[in-house]
Chains A and B, each alone.
Chain A
Amino acid sequence: MPTYPLYDNEGDTLHAANGRPLRDVTIDAALDGSLSIEDLQVHRSALLAQAEIARAAGYVPLAQNFARAAELTAVPRGEIIEMYNVLRPGRARRAELDALADRLEQEYAAPICAALVREAAEVYSARGLLRHPDAL
Chain B
Amino acid sequence: MAGLKRFRVLEERDINRETFVESWPEAGLMVADSPYDPAPSIRIVDGRVVELDGRSEADFDTLDVFIARHGIDLAVAAEAMALDSLTIAHMLADINIPRAVVLRLATGCTPAKLVDIMRHMNVLEMMNGLAKMRVRRIPANQAHVTNRRENPALLAADAAEAALRGFAELETTVGVARAAPFNALAILVGAQTGRGGVMTQCAVEESLGLRIAMKGLTTYAETLSVYGTEQAFVDGDDSPWSKAFLASAYASRGVKVRFTSGTGSEALMGSAEQRSMLYLEARCLCVTRGAGSQGVQNGSISCIALPESLPGGVRAVLAENLMASMLGLEVASGNDALASHSAIRNSAKLMLQFIPGTDFIFSGYSAVPRKDNMFGGGNFDADDLDDYAVLQRDMQIDGGTRSITEADAEAIRRRGAQAIQAVYAELGFPAIADDEVEAAVQAHSSDDMPVRDIVPDLVAADAFLAGDRSMVDVVAALARRGFADVAEHLLTMGRQRIAADYLQPAAIFGSDFVVQSAINQPNDYTGPGTGYRVEGARWHEMAHIHQAKSPRDFIVDRLGSPIESLAGYGNAKRGGSTEVVVAIGPAFGRIITKTIGGLDHEEVLKAVLTGIAEEGLIGRVVRIWRSSDCAEIGHVGAKLSGSGVSIGIQSRGTSIIHRVDLARLNNLELFSQSPSMTLDTYRAMGRNAARYAAGKMTTPVPVSVDNWARLRLIVKTALLHRRESEEIRDLPPEALRFDWEPEV
A residues in contact (CB < 8 Å) with B: 4-8, 10-11, 14-16, 22, 25-27, 30-31, 33, 35-37, 39-43, 46-47, 50, 53-54, 57-66, 68-73, 75, 77, 80-81, 83-85, 87-90, 113, 116-117, 119-120, 123-124, 127, 129
B494: contacting residue among A33, A40, A81, CB under 8 A: A40
CB of B217, distance to nearest CB on chain A (Å): 10
Taking a contact as CB atoms under 8 Å apart, the answer to whether B245 and A27 are in contact is no
Q: B577 an interface residue at 8 Å Cβ cutoff?
A: no
Q: Which of B211-244 contact A (CB under 8 A)?
A: 211, 214-216, 230, 233-234, 237-239, 241-242, 244
B244: contacting residue among A25, A30, A40, A116, CB under 8 A: A116
CA distance A112 to B14 in the complex (A): 54
Taking a contact as CB atoms under 8 Å apart, the answer to whether B252 and A7 are in contact is no
Taking a contact as CB atoms under 8 Å apart, the answer to whether A113 and B479 are in contact is no
CB of B384, distance to nearest CB on chain A (Å): 35
Interface centre among B251, B253, B522, by most chain A C-beta atoms within 10 angstroms, is B251
CB of B674, distance to nearest CB on chain A (Å): 60
Taking a contact as CB atoms under 8 Å apart, the answer to whether B292 and A68 are in contact is yes
Q: If the complex has contacts A25-B498, A69-B252, are A116 and B241 also in contact, measured as CB distance less than 8 A?
A: yes
CB of B329, distance to nearest CB on chain A (Å): 9
Which secondary structure characterizes the binding site on chain A? Answer: helix
CA distance A61 to B551 in the complex (A): 55
A88: contacting residue among B242, B480, B519, CB under 8 A: B242
CB of A48, distance to nearest CB on chain B (Å): 10
Taking a contact as CB atoms under 8 Å apart, the answer to whether B292 and A62 are in contact is yes
The residues of B that contact A6 with a CB separation of less than 8 Å are 499-501
The residues of A that contact B253 with a CB separation of less than 8 Å are 41-42, 77
Taking a contact as CB atoms under 8 Å apart, the answer to whether B504 and A54 are in contact is yes
CA distance A22 to B520 in the complex (A): 22
Taking a contact as CB atoms under 8 Å apart, the answer to whether A77 and B214 are in contact is yes
The residues of B that contact A41 with a CB separation of less than 8 Å are 253-254, 497-498
CA distance A57 to B206 in the complex (A): 29
Q: B452 an interface residue at 8 Å Cβ cutoff?
A: no
Q: If the complex has contacts A50-B501, A77-B214, A87-B242, are A30 and B252 also in contact, measured as CB distance less than 8 A?
A: no
CB of A58, distance to nearest CB on chain B (Å): 7
- B476-513 CB mask vs A (1 if < 8 Å, else 0) is 10011000100110010011111111011100000001
Taking a contact as CB atoms under 8 Å apart, the answer to whether A80 and B495 are in contact is no
CB of A128, distance to nearest CB on chain B (Å): 9
Taking a contact as CB atoms under 8 Å apart, the answer to whether B100 and A40 are in contact is no
Known contacts A40-B472, A61-B291, A80-B249; 6 further A-B pairs (Cβ under 8 A)? A14-B499, A25-B491, A25-B498, A50-B500, A72-B249, A88-B238
Q: B289 an interface residue at 8 Å Cβ cutoff?
A: yes
CB of A59, distance to nearest CB on chain B (Å): 6
Taking a contact as CB atoms under 8 Å apart, the answer to whether B246 and A123 are in contact is no
Count residues of B near A (Cβ-Cβ below 8 Å). 76
CB of A37, distance to nearest CB on chain B (Å): 4
Interface centre among A58, A117, A124, by most chain B C-beta atoms within 10 angstroms, is A58
Taking a contact as CB atoms under 8 Å apart, the answer to whether B246 and A124 are in contact is no
The residues of A that contact B233 with a CB separation of less than 8 Å are 89
The residues of B that contact A64 with a CB separation of less than 8 Å are 70, 292
Q: If the complex has contacts A14-B498, A27-B487, A87-B241, are A37 and B472 also in contact, measured as CB distance less than 8 A?
A: yes
A57: contacting residue among B289, B494, B518, CB under 8 A: B518
B residues in contact (CB < 8 Å) with A: 61-62, 65-66, 69-71, 73, 100, 103-104, 107, 206-207, 210-211, 214-216, 230, 233-234, 237-239, 241-242, 244-254, 289-294, 328, 468, 470-473, 475-476, 479-480, 484, 487-488, 491, 494-501, 503-505, 513-515, 518-520, 522
B501: contacting residue among A5, A27, A124, CB under 8 A: A5
The residues of A that contact B473 with a CB separation of less than 8 Å are 30
Taking a contact as CB atoms under 8 Å apart, the answer to whether B70 and A72 are in contact is no
Taking a contact as CB atoms under 8 Å apart, the answer to whether B472 and A35 are in contact is yes
Taking a contact as CB atoms under 8 Å apart, the answer to whether A5 and B241 are in contact is no
Q: If the complex has contacts A72-B252, A77-B214, A80-B252, are A61 and B70 also in contact, measured as CB distance less than 8 A?
A: yes
Taking a contact as CB atoms under 8 Å apart, the answer to whether B245 and A60 are in contact is no
CA distance A88 to B496 in the complex (A): 30
The residues of B that contact A83 with a CB separation of less than 8 Å are 245, 249
Taking a contact as CB atoms under 8 Å apart, the answer to whether B242 and A120 are in contact is yes
Taking a contact as CB atoms under 8 Å apart, the answer to whether B244 and A65 are in contact is yes
CA distance A61 to B292 in the complex (A): 5
Name 14 interchain pairs, CB-CB below 8 A, sorted by A: A7-B513, A15-B498, A33-B476, A57-B522, A59-B294, A61-B70, A61-B289, A64-B70, A65-B247, A68-B292, A69-B251, A123-B241, A124-B239, A129-B239
The 3 nearest A-B residue pairs measured at CB: A65-B292, A69-B251, A120-B241
Taking a contact as CB atoms under 8 Å apart, the answer to whether A39 and B210 are in contact is no
Interface centre among B207, B210, B248, B504, by most chain A C-beta atoms within 10 angstroms, is B248
CA distance A63 to B210 in the complex (A): 21
Taking a contact as CB atoms under 8 Å apart, the answer to whether A89 and B254 are in contact is no
CA distance A42 to B361 in the complex (A): 30
CB of A21, distance to nearest CB on chain B (Å): 9
The residues of B that contact A73 with a CB separation of less than 8 Å are 252
Taking a contact as CB atoms under 8 Å apart, the answer to whether B503 and A66 are in contact is yes
Which residue of chain A is the closest to B257 with respect to CB atoms? A65
Q: If the complex has contacts A5-B501, A37-B216, A117-B241, are A47 and B252 also in contact, measured as CB distance less than 8 A?
A: yes
The residues of A that contact B515 with a CB separation of less than 8 Å are 5, 7
CA distance A75 to B252 in the complex (A): 9
Taking a contact as CB atoms under 8 Å apart, the answer to whether B505 and A62 are in contact is yes
